[in-house]
Chains A and B, each alone.
Chain A
Amino acid sequence: MRHPWFIRAAQRMNSISFATQVLQFIVTGLTVGAIYAMVAIGFNIIYNVTEIINLAQGEFVMLGGLVMVFMHVSVGLPLVPAFLSTIFLVMLVGIVMDRLGIRTIRKPSVMTLIIATVAVSIIIKGVAMLLWGKSPYDLPAFSGRTPIQLGGVVVQPQYLWVIGFLIVVAVGLTYFFNRTILGKAMRACADNPSAARLVGIDVEKMVLLSFALSAAIGAVAGMTMTPIALMDYDRGAMLAIKGFGAAILGGLGSFPGAILGGLLIGLIESLGAGLLLSGYKDAYALIILLAVLFVRPSGILGNLQVTKFKRF
């Protein structure tokens, strides 16, 4: 049944225009993508120094969210101290993971170490389940929940926090790896551990640092996403998969690649869900990922020359 023209016009007034819709998809996609990008950066830091794919990366994100809920909501610390203490605690988990789970393994090969990270992720998840139970937790948004209207496009203030923290992390890491002695030492370990050791770099300390750093970035991702999506103990694996996909898409080991990959996957999911069938949105991202790998096996910004030297 077709309504008369004036009803249709009224309906159109009530609804939103196609351009606004697309803009809304992009805003949402960038936000979700920024979370994936932060997870992907975490993968890259550890991969660059140790060649391990740390499959517990998603667990750092989950812990970040839940510890923040504990600090901010249960203990009642103000936002900034809660934020900093959460980063500190999750970093500690990363350090303990390296000390107990990674370094103690005899005759380590890259593969056994990756399997060890799977074990660690299961342990972290189990402990989180015991501590927090199985129900999801909410965190108050950092600066209120009143959405910002930008000509029909709705932006939650928390979206800006997520994207803002991605920028902070990206700028901070660029500075750290290019301008500081410590960062350069970590890069040296990545390029050639034996040579790094010969010039007096403590490789084991650098590995430890890489775990601490990626745990911290995971925690930031978790804390910023919890006000949007809630957090429960079971969330880590999905985030790890999405973040890993982003890292591969951008080129494993490349930081600009991780950001590009994360944002791309977020955008594809959001636009795919909005414009095409929403049931297949994960498939769209994976199809693009496969297509890119057919053309460029090293990912968009990855360097094939470099990956040939890697053991994994």
Chain B
Amino acid sequence: MMGKKVAAVLLACLLVGGFAISPASAAYKIGALFSVTGGASFLGDPEKKTAEMVVEQINKAGGINGEKIELVVYDDEGDATKCNLFAKKLINQDKVVAVIGPSVSGLSLAVVPVFEKSRTPLISCAASYKIVLNEKSGKPYPWIFKTAQSDSHAVEAIYTQMQKMGISKIAILTVTDGFGASGRQELLRLADQYKIAIVGDEKYDPKDTDMTAQLTKIKGIAPQAIINWSVGPTQVTVMRNWRDLGMQKMVFFQSHGFANRKNIELAAGAAEGVYCPLGACNVAEVLPDDHPQKKVTMDYMQSYMAKYNEPLSSFGGYAWDALYLVADALKAVGPDKAKIRDYLENRKNFIGQHGVFNFSPDDHNGLSKDAFQMVIVKDGDWVLAE
């Protein structure tokens, strides 16, 4: 009788102990969720490439504290259900210490509860401030961080520039997806603070072929400037329509979603004189030498372009920041989820691609509007705006 009980307890100990020991045997495992294919592939693709490049660089330099890191990447295809499944797989099956991604705000919001419940740090690469703000409590979600600047930072950067230029009457054009809707909300919310009157509020579909109708309507109202908030082909089409309609008197501002040189190329000349707020990594070459981010952004740009032979987009920079933050935490505290979280929450002065991050218990984004450089397109390239 007694012997049986002891045996059962021993067996239980063995089983539990066995499960507890197994994950520690692997190298440092970091998970990644990116929309590598599907509608948001322009985000996920450079993010995946960047993350793989960074892991290669870290491992080549000897890993972290002598341990190699292993990156487990899943492609959620921009689908919330798949993203959710992969998130659970990363946590339960792959036993990663932290996860970077997802690429899109909607998907990031969808997986927040999964990471909160399993107490695993998530560093999102998407923009919406709601990812790191629990609107019920007004505090950040404890386990969630993000590296992309919030829409509000971009809006503030644009409005500040407008004040400098003496612009007070504007029209906004937004795309009817998550990115556009979130940007529109911030544009409307912050306008009063900067004494800007929004006299036109137009929308279009992410797959639309022509925005002449919306712009013609705006032309009738004659505002001083137009702000367009979209990503993908539409942001190029809308700019061409603006040029073709002869509306150059109304200054054109793009959101930070414009952050790809390819867009200037695709605009076929229509991008001249367009303003947009960009993260430092997009304008590495034109940054002054004493800029704090000059070195990291130049390094990233050179190694990315050498490896993949394609121009840099700002989205890869979000993954760079997220992955190096995790690596930084691993180096300092080792593969302990709770310690990583605590470390990240108090990390100050982390110099990344998209700004100098200063995290705090009240701010899990760690950036301000200064994370954006205001640039203007001149002769087919970015130039820092006055």
| Known interface pairs A24-B213, A134-B42, A232-B233; A279-B220 also in contact (CB < 8 Å) | no
Whether a CB of chain A sits under 8 angstroms from the CB of B374 is no
Q: Which residues of A contact B299 (CB under 8 A)?
A: none
A14 touches B204 (CB 8 A): no
The answer to whether the Cβ of B131 comes within 8 Å of any Cβ in the partner chain is no
Which single residue of chain A is at the shortest CB-CB distance from B173?
Answer: A278
Bound complex: CA of A282 vs CA of B209, how far in Å? 13
- Partner-binding segment picked from A29-37, A42-50, A113-121: A29-37
State in angstroms the CA–CA spacing of A145 and B244 once bound together: 8
Q: Are B246 and A28 in contact (CB under 8 A)?
A: no
Q: Knowing A18-B220, A278-B204 are in contact, say whether A156-B244 is a contact too (CB < 8 A).
A: yes
Does A154 lie within 8 Å of B246, measured CB to CB? yes
Q: A21 and B42: CB pair below 8 A?
A: no
Q: Flag if A273 contacts B213 (CB, 8 Å).
A: yes
Q: With an 8 A cutoff between CB atoms, is A234 at the interface?
A: yes
Instruction: Indicate the member of A16, A21, A154, A278 with the most B CB atoms within 10 Å.
Output: A278
Query: In the complex, A235→B237 CA distance in Å?
Result: 14
Contact B37 A229 (CB under 8 A): no
At the interface, yes or no: B45 with Cβ under 8 Å from chain A? yes
**A83 within 8 Å of B by Cβ?**
no
Contact indicator B209/A229 (Cβ below 8 Å)? yes
Contact B204 A273 (CB under 8 A): yes
Interface hits, A188-232 → B, CB 8 Å: 225, 228-232
B176 at the interface (CB under 8 A from A): yes
- List, in ascending order, chain B residues with CB within 8 A of A134's CB: 37, 41-42, 45
The answer to whether the Cβ of A54 comes within 8 Å of any Cβ in the partner chain is: no
Bound Cα distance A84, B233 (Å): 26
Nearest B residue to A156 by beta-carbon distance?
A: B244
Q: Are A11 and B213 in contact (CB under 8 A)?
A: no
Asked whether, in the complex, the Cβ of A230 is within 8 Å of the Cβ of B236, the reply is yes
Q: In the complex the two chains form, is B209's CB within 8 Å of A32's CB?
A: yes
A136 and B232 contacting across the interface, CB-CB below 8 Å: yes
Chain A contact-residue range equals 35 or more
Q: Which residues on the A side are within 8 Å of B265 (C-beta)?
A: 138
Residue of A27, A31, A129, A156 with most partner-chain B CB within 10 A? A156
Residues of A within 8 A of B236 (CB): 136, 138, 230
Tell me the bound Cα distance from A27 to B269 in angstroms: 23
Binding site for A on B (CB under 8 A): 37-39, 41-42, 45, 176, 202-205, 207-210, 212-214, 216-217, 219-222, 232-233, 236-237, 240, 244-246, 249, 262, 265-266, 268-269
Question: Per a CB cutoff under 8 Å, which of B42, B221, B233 touches A229?
Answer: B233
Measured between alpha carbons, how far is A55 from B37 in the docked complex, in Å? 21
Within 8 Å of chain B (Cβ to Cβ): is A274? yes
- Whether A60 sits at the interface, judged by CB under 8 Å, is no
Q: Which of B42, B214, B237, B266 touches A278 (beta carbons < 8 Å)?
A: B214
A109 at the interface (CB under 8 A from B): no
Q: Are A15 and B209 in contact (CB under 8 A)?
A: no
Q: Counting CB contacts under 8 A, is A270 at the interface?
A: yes
Pick the residue among A27, A31, A149, A278 that contacts B203 (CB under 8 A). A278
Chain A residues with CB under 8 Å of B245's CB are 147, 154
Q: Which residue of A lies closest to B180 (CB)?
A: A279
Q: Is the CB of B233 within 8 A of A136?
A: yes
On chain B, the residues within 8 Å of A305 by CB distance are none
Q: Is the CB of A15 within 8 A of B213?
A: no
A21 to B137, CA, bound (A): 48
Known: A11-B222, A134-B42, A278-B203. A28 touches B244 (CB 8 A): no
Question: When the two chains form the complex, which single residue of A14, A228, A238 contacts B210, counting CB atoms closer than 8 Å?
Answer: A228
Q: Which residues of B contact A244 (CB under 8 A)?
A: none
Q: Is the CB of A25 within 8 A of B39?
A: no
Q: Which residues of B contact A274 (CB under 8 A)?
A: 213-214, 216-217
Report yes or no: B39 in contact with A234, Cβ–Cβ below 8 A: yes
Residue A74 CB within 8 A of the other chain: no
Kindly identify which residue among B205, B222, B237 contacts A230, using a CB–CB cutoff of 8 Å.
Answer: B237
Shortest C-beta distance, B212 to chain A (Å), equals: 4
A281 CB–B CB distance under 8 Å:
yes
Q: Is residue A143 contacting chain B, with contact meaning CB distance below 8 A?
A: no
Q: How distant is B93 from chain A, measured CB to nearest CB, in Å? A: 27
Residues A21 and B210 in contact, CB atoms below 8 Å apart: no
Let me know if A147 and B246 touch, CB within 8 A. Answer: yes
| Chain B residues in 8 Å Cβ range of A104 | none
Contact across chains for B219 and A16 when beta carbons are under 8 A apart? yes
Q: Would A129 and B37 count as touching, CB distance under 8 A?
A: yes
Chain B residues, CB < 8 A from A28: 210, 212-213, 216
Instruction: For the complex, give the distance between the alpha carbons of A273 and B202 in Å.
Output: 8
Contact of A147 with B244 in the complex, beta carbons under 8 Å = yes
A86 and B237 CA atoms in complex are apart in Å by 24
> How far in angstroms is the closest Cβ of chain A from B79?
14
A-B contact pairs, 7 of them (CB 8 A): A15-B221, A15-B222, A24-B212, A145-B240, A156-B244, A274-B213, A278-B202
Across the interface, which residues of B come within 8 angstroms of A234, CB to CB? Answer: 38-39, 207
Given known contacts A31-B210, A154-B245, A225-B209, A145 and B268 CB-to-CB distance under 8 angstroms? yes
